[in-house]
Structure 1
Amino acid sequence: MAAPTRAGETDVVLDRYLELIGRLRAAPPEPAAFGATVVRQVATVLRVARVGWWRMRHHPEAGLALEAGWWDGQAQPLGTESFLPRHTFPRYFEALDLGLPIRAVDATTDPRTNEFLDIYLKPKGIGAMLDAPVLRGGVVTGVVCVEHVGGARDWADDETQFLNSLAGLLAQRDAERESESTFERLKESEQRFRELFDSSPDLLQSSDPGGRLQYVNHTWRRTLGYSDPEVERLTVWGLVLPEQRTRLQDLYTQVFAGRTLPNVRFDFLARDGHRVPVEGGFVPVLRGMRVVGCHAFLRAVAPTVEAPVASASDCSVLWLCLDSLPEALLVVDGSFELRFVNQAANRLLGVQAGSHNLRDVADPLSFQRIAAAATAGGSRELAACRLRHADGSYPPADVALSSTLAAEGGRLTTVRFTGARTPSP
């Protein structure tokens, strides 16, 4: 067996590894160019003819899809070898799922890799393989595969460590790119919501626990007549008639205890002093398990006031916003029948309100935990709950994240799968 990293060469491999890190940091951000840089540099450091970077894919078929390849001194275009189905190579995928490097000194006899013997190893003259899984949150999301053309090869410890460290760097880069993408989506979503709120015929306001106004929409400002600088100095207590302030304080106490209050009526004071009766709903703003603010969705009802067009229901704007959220949101009744499914949940799980039960989308253990939390009442966060599509298939594991439950006397439970990434419509 050939051992290409001999005594005294460890420092050379480490130096090349540090050089590789610098090159990757400076690599073009475009996925194709970055991938080509990765495989080319790995081939140079480990002195091999073939390197492939593969990503795990779950739909429409489970397996590995080629991200970038370096075959015999040149970049590999995507072609017939670009996908490895899981069902065709079960032993290899079982070994990969362990999350440990596959160090196949003789790939033709190693049970983890000899499934490739007739269709790949022999035709390409490959004698040894060194594969390092790319892990995120303990889940395999890809693999870097190094292939030695020739006979068996006894991979050195520092070569294995080098490839394993590189896989960690790729996982970190994916996480950073996803965070950047999520931040951009949140900014775009915030802008869309602001445009939606400003164009609403309802009076919308958001306030902090002290009652200070943090946001009001265009209809609110037009109806009550306050300028932006004046809004910055206002509190909700100064908006209502003096005799209604105690009742408003009681209402805020209930909202900040986690309750949603529909069909509430107050009299606001416009800037010129005239009374503007309003009615609508007050909704708590949750951050984790804490209530950090209060949203109000109101409409002016006084006939003497030029009122905007009334909504179809007190919380019509609220439901429209919930339907547009990028996170999957379900509302179920006491029998766990789906009463509301927003667009993100429909794309992720393939279910519709009135046609499915929570049992259709949660595995038995997750359903038991959600049911127990709903029965106990109150609001709480659960650890990872496993979701599945209505057709029985499971989305990628990293979409099954935390669930926020809000139970009201066992009647309605809201299940909000925070952070669940959904496909674009």
Structure 2
Amino acid sequence: MIDSTHDPKLTSWVLSANGHTDFPIQNLPLGLFSPTDEAPRPGTAIGGQIVEWQALVAAGLMQDSLTIEAVLATPALRKSLRRQLSKLLSDPQYREAAEPYLHAAADCTLHLPTRIGDYTDFYAGIHHAVTVGKLFRPDNPLLPNYKHVPIGYHGRASSIRPSGEPVIRPKGQTKAPEAETPSFGPSKRLDFELELGIWVGPGNDLGHPIDIATAADHIAGYCLLNDWSARDFQAWEYQPLGPFLAKNFMTTISPWIVTPEALAPFRLAQAPRPEGDPSPLPYLWDETAQAGGALKLSLEVWIETADMRAQNLPPFTLSHSEARHMYWTPAQLVTHHASNGCNLQTGDLLGTGTISGPTSDSAGSLLELSEGGKKPVSLPSNETRSFLEDGDALILSARAEADGYVSIGFGECRGRILPAA
């Protein structure tokens, strides 16, 4: 999958792309944007600019009339688009013809890249599962099924929003341990979750599972995902059917789809399972898929409080983690989801679950960082946080780096907490 579009010597005549933290010409993510007072249209981030596809097609600079849905559904079309954009944006002979179809990203609104039909959230971060399990079951943090089956639940697609949209503190039902009856009101234990989102490509017909050997062909790209969580609601409601109102009030994603082609230089072998762990059942196992099944991505979380903004302090780093800490690969998640014949559809979104690392500074949630609220996190503004307060903003980022290649990013995944309605 590595070709001329990954050449580290490749530069763009869009000067802001050269050395850009997230969107050099080696990335070329997919998204939906709208210039000021104009309708949304598909495009690609290149440095600090966005180039619109349909205008390039109308000008005779690209061959295909494209929608994001068609590109997600058709791997060959997605790869063709990447090659065409790479050539157009790198070869100076196309500058005069293509430059009018660039828009300053700062002047544009970014939208959800496609209509999300269904959303499923997994629990593939084993360090998160163990740490959270210890808070409730110190002697038996992982339930017996965890190492045999990818655990997940169906979320709410309608409340997924792109980076930058506010997060209204949810109201819900809670029950304090000492209380005789539950009460209703704003969440007091609002949290974030550091995840990756996996965009489904072609999908499968109802009743026809996806083979693990071809599961990667059904992944059209990745994004950052913050599955905001009301921990106090969750503690009261999750038994016996799992997450519900504690999760479905809001999920924030980064709006650019970073394609598997862009991430080709940043594939890793999935880490061997610890000695004594069970081998996955045959339907979840493929040697080739394991050899390049993980992603070499560094992940970070920052917090920015209202007081920090007032004091002109920069966002404070809460956590560093890595995508390789997932116990199950994206391909295994896709395969398991469809293993009973469930039909995945183009534009469906899968969350990986919280990706925490093995150390305290690599936790992907405040529930872990504050040990359930027992040890508040100290901030440079002389504040502390056990859980999120109104006015707090959370920013997630991801960066792919490998020797001999230009690093790429995902753009930010940001949300600020507003008071309950």
Query: So what's the TM-score if we normalise by structure 2?
Result: 0.22
- Name the structure, 1 or 2, with higher relative contact order (CA <8 Å, separation 6+): 2
Query: So what's the TM-score if we normalise by structure 1?
Result: 0.22
Larger Rg: 1
